[in-house]
Amino acid sequence: MASSRSLLCDQLHCSICLDVFTDPVTTPCGHNFCMICLKEYWDSSSHCQCPMCKTNFAKRPELCVNKFISALDDPFKKADQVKSSSTAENPTQSLVLCDVCCEKKRAAVKSCLICMTSYCEIHLGRHERISSLKKHKLMAPVANLDDYICLQHERPLELFCRDDQMCVCKFCTQTEHKTHNTVRIEDESEEKKTELGKVQTEVQQKTQERVKKIEEIKDSVNLNKKNTENEKADIVEIFSALTRCIERSQAELCKVMEEKQNTAKMQAEDFVKELEQEINELKRRNTELEQLSHTEDHLHLLQIFPSMCSPPHTQDWTDVTINPHLSVATLRRALSQLQETLSEEMEKVPEIKLKRIQQYAVDVTLDPDTAHRYLILSTDGKQVTCGDKRLNILDNPRRFHNYVCVLGKEGFSSGRFYYEVQVRGKTEWHVGVARESINRKGKFTARPKDGYWCVCLRNETEYKALEYPPVSLSLKQAPQKVGVFVDYEKGLISFFDVDAKSHIYSFTGQNFTEKICPLFSPCTYDGGKNSAPLIICPVNQI
């Protein structure tokens, strides 16, 4: 049915313009043409003849529109208009035009590498019907057909030389590419598409990774902003307390100075009053002596002389001073109190730091496949103790052989994490983190160089950080619960006394290159003296 329609479509096309008839007319010899096409043909010729069969006419025939053919032609015209409209509305379709169409160019649907011509759907019909044309190399329409032809042999580029990584024609494989590995262009294109698909997948993956990284950075910025606000609030609180303490000390010192000033003033007024009284007494005596020195009553002079021969009694004012200044002892006492307050506020800093760190709390459980055969783990994987007998369990490459240790199931290769371990009631213990690849079978030294970052208790009272050599720790009190914080990117491992809210020790400047895991060692049973378990506790933020 489709073939009949295609054949009818070809019969309704003018052989001059190769387009669907416009005002079809019929010559006396029976051939059909567009009226305007036939008139232009006759006008350009010196004699009148049929363009198809070359029949000569004595005079130009009268031309009338063939209404039957015109009626048959209308549906095909409308179909062409719909196709043209569809092409105009969809700019993604081929913009290559048919090389055969004369006046109104249609969009090409195929290009022939043998004919070196692009065809619309109508003019492509011959390649679909004629057997010799069916063998031609058709492809999606392109404007630059010359780029698809071998410049040397003027044949279609149908093959791809993998040795020289270039497109070649069949004749090229018989000359300089004769021994080369050549395949069809379509096959090579499919392989390249597969490779492109892999590249596209990689590009998409990298895009997703970067989108994820952007989200991480944004989340980090928001978290840092929140932490900064909280830290600012804590700093304001601490400095406000210090400011209040300083202001209080200042006010108290000023009050003491004012009180001393008032006391000195009152004392000075008393001294002045006494001095004025003595001055009056001395003046009175001076007056009496002046009178006696001029008296003519010798008997009277001799009678009162004993009482007048010495000055009246007065106080010795030589060492009497007024000193309103603040004493050194008072100032020292005030500064000592201020220093004590400052120390109290400074002790709050580790508490604030611990509060910030606790937000990175993670859920840690013990990995039974790594536990030494003497270790007994709770069913929930939160407690470990050392027994006095070796358990009958299978060995595996991950299990510790010489040291009573166990790792956490959770490993970390980025970011920050924090967990807490109860060590109450134990005489010895080790707590910290270790590289996932640590030596679990032979002997080793627990130190950062070998992938261990731990603090420990030995001999009930000796606390050490396992550097090389170990660093003795002086703690105000025995920790009952130890907090472990790791910042992977900064290479920081810090330990805290959770109950005392104080810092124990930090390993700094470490370079992590692989996954690290929480590490626990309850140490040996020691005849029951060290039977208390290590317990991974839920983090209760301060």
- pLDDT band of residue 412 (cuts 50, 70, 90) is very high
- Taking the C-alpha atoms of residue 376 and residue 386, their distance in angstroms, rounded to an integer, is 6
User: With 90 as the cut, is the pLDDT of residue 463 above it?
Assistant: yes
Name which residue leads in pLDDT, 536 or 24.
536
User: With 90 as the cut, is the pLDDT of residue 255 above it?
Assistant: no
Q: pLDDT by residue (tens digit) across 512-533?
A: 999 999 999 999 998 899 999 9
Most confident by average pLDDT, 145-159, 255-269, 448-462: 448-462
Q: pLDDT by residue (tens digit) across 384-409?
A: 999 989 999 888 999 998 899 999 99
Q: Say how far residue 52 (Cα) sits from the centre of its chain.
A: 77
pLDDT at 2: 42
Query: Dihedral of the CA atoms 214, 218, 223, 226 (nearest 10)?
Result: 170
% of residues, the chain, pLDDT over 70: 89
Structure tokens at 508: 């700094």
- Taking the C-alpha atoms of residue 517 and residue 412, their distance in angstroms, rounded to an integer, is 6
User: With 60 as the cut, is the pLDDT of residue 31 above it?
Assistant: yes
Residues 6+ apart with CB under 8 A from 471: 464, 465, 505
- Taking the C-alpha atoms of residue 173 and residue 257, their distance in angstroms, rounded to an integer, is 112
| Amino acid found at 115 | C
- What average pLDDT does the chain have? 84
**Mean pLDDT within 205-214:** 91
Q: pLDDT by residue (tens digit) across 102-117?
A: 767 888 889 888 888 8
pTM of the model: 0.46
**Which is it for the CA torsion 437, 443, 445, 446, positive or negative?**
positive
Question: For residue 231, what is the DSSP state?
Answer: H
- Taking the C-alpha atoms of residue 9 and residue 120, their distance in angstroms, rounded to an integer, is 13
Q: Say how far residue 34 (Cα) sits from the centre of its chain.
A: 72
User: With 70 as the cut, is the pLDDT of residue 83 above it?
Assistant: no
Q: pLDDT by residue (tens digit) across 339-351?
A: 777 766 665 566 6
Q: pLDDT by residue (tens digit) across 299-309?
A: 888 888 888 87
